[in-house]
A and B are shown apart, each in its own frame.
Chain A
Amino acid sequence: MSVTWNVTGDGNIMSSRDVDLSIPVLPEMELTAMKTAEAVGEFMNLDHTKIEEVKVALIEACINAFEHSQSQAGRVDISFAIGDTALTVTISDDGQGFDPADAQTRVEKRRSDGERKRGWGLMIMKELMDEVTIKSGESGTTLTMVKHR
């Protein structure tokens, strides 16, 4: 299976097997991302359950970005990389960033205080996807999730 690499005018390399989406931070706009995930998953002939898991994880990633990023551009960028062995979904924002370890500590403290209603997004993503990595700093956050075939 071949992949064509296109170099854009600003020097970025774009795989022809990527599906790129940019959504505004608006109510229920995560559903747009979800529907794209469904279409990509079907294109890849992923198992129905895996598609559903990608959809839920992606919704959680989007609502986290909407709620916490305080994106200056008011947008979240999502890229679906169609691979031979996996679907890789990348969610990026240009917000304030966060410390994943600190976030985890705060969630654990809330759990130990008996608060069990919020703070589940990252755990849901990690349980439903095969790999989840987070890079975050002052210029924003990039969350990458992988679902193997």
Chain B
Amino acid sequence: MAESVDVDVRRQGGVGIVDVTGYVNNVLGERVAASSIDLIDEGLVRLLLNMEACTMVNSVGISFLIDVIERVNELQGKVAFCCVGSTTAKTFQIMGLLQTASVYDTERDALEALGA
């Protein structure tokens, strides 16, 4: 059953990029949140979560992403997602994430919107 799950971070133009690989459940969601908070603690309040390698999400995993968004918004920062599958995007919409975070088709578009 084990599939590849990973969280990698990059920094580009003042934006922290979190590359998410695998199934975003409570375990991976928590890792994504932890990596995001590390970037925030470095002073990066513009975050991009790249979901290209995300294979599936569940609402518990997404709840950790809500934590990240709330933390960034408290600091007047911005969170964006890119390369999100249509059903994942719809799930984000249902859960209200898109009220406070944006979704872009490509990393390039997202970075441009975040001012990188």
A residues whose Cβ falls under 8 Å from a Cβ of B: 27-32, 34, 49, 52-53, 55-56, 59-60, 63, 116-118, 120-121, 123-124, 127-128
Contacts and interface: CB of A to CB of B under 8 A. Distances in A.
Given A52-B86, A124-B94, A59 B66 contact: no
B1 A59 contact: no
B96 A117 contact: no
Interface of B: 1, 3, 23, 25, 27, 56-60, 62-63, 66-67, 85-88, 90-91, 94-96
B95 A56 contact: no
Contact of A34 (B56, B63, B94): B56
Contacts of A116: 66, 95-96
| Secondary structure type dominating chain A contacts | helix
Contacts of B96: 116
B94 A123 contact: yes
Given A116-B96, A117-B67, A124 B87 contact: no
A16 to B, nearest CB: 28
A56 B95 CA distance: 13
Nearest to A67: B60
